Structure formats: C-alpha cells, structure tokens
Structure 1
Amino acid sequence: MSSDLWSFSLNTYARPGVEGLCLQWQAAGANVCLLLCGLWLEQRGVACTAQRLRQLSEIVGPWEATVVQPLRALRTQWKTAAADDIDLAALREHIKTLELQAERHLLVRLERTAENWPRDQLTEPSAWLEGVAAGAANLDRDALQQLRVAVTGA
C-alpha cells in the first residue's frame, strides 16, 4: 500500500477496471479524488465520522467548482474540434495536464487534512466509500463494491 494519497491514487487508478468505474462515478456526480481518498483512509484504518466527511467535502467543493470543473469543461468542449485541428489538440492536451495537476493538488490538500487522524481503528468497511459517494446522484452502489474489490481484492 502506498503511504501517500497521490501514489495510492495512481496505483489504484491503474488497476484493471478502476478507470472505467471512476469515469462512471464522475459522470454521476461523484468526486473521484474524494472516492480515492475514502479508499485510502479505509485502508489506513482511519475511522469514518460525519465530521471528517464534512472536512473533506469542504475542501473538495470549492476546489472542484473553481479549479477542476472549469478545466474539465474546457477540455470536453474542445474534444470534437480538436479531432480535426492539431493546434487545438495540443492545447487540449495542456488543459488535460492542468486538470491532472489540479486533481493532484486536491489530493495533497485532502492528505494534509487527514494526516493526523488516528490510524488502525475499527470502522465499517463500506463507511468511507458510502460517505464520500453520498452526494452523487444516480451512483450505482454495486459500483462502489466493484471498486473495493478492484483495490483490495475483498
């Protein structure tokens, strides 16, 4: 298991099936960084509480709305036109890189918030994923279990 959230997220995202599930949840309104953070906290044995969920959400909301979403919207908006315009395609790749950097900064902020939370505590295995996915509309709860299986094998 990776000790930092960024490495954990990269390793998790690279596992078979995880990218597709994450994109499905993103389309349903879930924040993938928050889902990955929930898995990371679960694996670290950090107890899930309403206060901790609120702290993480207070970090994610503004950053997602003012930084990540505008970059993602621009990248998505340019997708069709970039297929026929090599210059626009190159700019779109820059936007994609900025979007990934913005997500990395978000993961660092989440990790900083959680770094002093006690580890190795008993908690309901699904508490973090259920908690961080609670605000997503139309999110398939079976998909959360698929993510857990892809990450932990359990």
Structure 2
Amino acid sequence: MNTPPERFWDFSLAVYPRPGVKDACLDLQGAGLDVNLALWIAWHGAHGRDAAPALDAAIALSRDWSAGVVKPLRAARDVLKTPPDYVRPEEARALRQAILATELEAERLQQMALEPLQGARPSGLAPRALTEDGLAACAARMRLDIAPHLFVESVFGALESV
C-alpha cells in the first residue's frame, strides 16, 4: 500500500473516484451508514489507528450534521431530478447543480469536523483489519446490518494506486 494522504479530505478525494469505491460507499449509505463516517474509519485504519476511542463522538457528529444539513440538501436535490411543472427545466438543472456543490461543501465541512477526532495507535493490527473492526463496531453501535468487506477492499485497492 502506498502512503495514504495525511489529511482526511485529501484521503477521501484520492480514494472515492477509484473503481468500486463510490458504489461500495453508496451500498453502506443505503444500509444507513454515513459515507463520511465510513471513510473516516478507513482513513484511521489506513494510518494504523484504531477509530474506537473517538467513534461515539464521530457517530454523534455525523448523525447531527447529516440530519440537519446534508440530508435536507440531498432531499432538495432529489426533488429537482424531476422538477415540478411550474419550474422551468433549465432553471431546475441550474439550481440542482448549485445544491450539489453546496452538498459537497457540507460534506467537506463534516470531514473537517471529523478529522481532529483521533483514535489510538494499536500495535500489530493491519490497516484492513482496523478498518473492518471499526466499521463493525460502528454498525453495532448504530444497530445497522452492513457488509463492510467490499468497501474495505475497494478503498484499500484504491490506495494501492494512489
């Protein structure tokens, strides 16, 4: 594995566009797990850190930010996929693009807030194992049924080519 980017946002920008990562993230999102939270756990794992000591704070931060900011933006953007008859399609497209840019900025701000929440440096655990364990602990605390293996493999596969 190549050295992963130090900054969380840079890490996410490096891995997200790689083959398989976006789909794996959306699968986790569909199961109820915040994508930024999953990426934060993977970022910790990639740096040999156990996210567990900061996991509760990260879950609370992500839950609140997502509910108050990201999900309302996403809902507005989704409405504009098929705009109401009283809105001109070209104006709906322009507004949808502006909301998408705002949603991306909201995600960046969430990552900036998550970045200082630091886990511990364990001894002897591999980055993939740290990430899988972190995702399993997160899912258990949130009472989610997720299958993190595809996400972990796609993120760490992406890191091979970063």
Compute the TM-score of the two structures, normalised by the length of structure 1.
0.84
Residues 136 and 89 from structure 1, CA distance in 2 versus in 1: closer, same or farther, beyond 3 angstroms? farther
CA RMSD of aligned residues (A): 2.3
Q: After superposition, what is the alpha-carbon deviation per residue over 1:104-126, rounded to whole angstroms, capped at 9, x for unaligned?
A: 00000000222xx4546444432
Q: Pick from 128, 149, 153: which aligns with 1:146?
A: 153
Take 2:77 and 2:68, find their aligned partners in 1: how far apart are those partners?
15
- The answer on whether the counterparts of 1:35 and 1:133 sit within 8 Å (CA) in structure 2 is no
Q: Does 1:10 align with 2:13?
A: yes
Q: How far 1:136 moved relative to its partner? A: 6.5
Q: How does 1:3-152 map to 2 (within 5 A)?
A: 3-49=6-52, 51-81=53-83, 85-114=89-118, 117-119=119-121, 121-123=123-125, 124-125=129-130, 126-134=132-140, 135=142, 137-152=144-159
Unaligned runs of 5+ in 1: none
Moved more, 94-103 or 121-130: 121-130
Shift of 1:128: 1.7
Shift of 1:77: 1.4
Mapped to 2, the partners of 1:121 and 1:137 lie a distance apart of 28
% identical equivalent positions: 31
Cα contact 2:8–2:40 (8 A) shared by 1 = yes
Please, which moves more after superposition, 3-12 or 40-49? 40-49
2:102 maps to amino acid: L
CA distance in 1, matches of 2:69, 2:29: 16
Deviation for aligned residue 1:151: 3.6
Paired amino acid for 1:140: A
Are the structure 2 counterparts of residues 101 and 31 from structure 1 closer, same or farther at C-alpha, using a change threshold of 3 Å? same
Separation of aligned partners in 1, 2:155 and 2:121: 19
Task: Mark the runs of 5 or more structure 2 residues left unpaired by the alignment.
Answer: none
Runs of 4+ in 1 over 6 A off after TM superposition: none
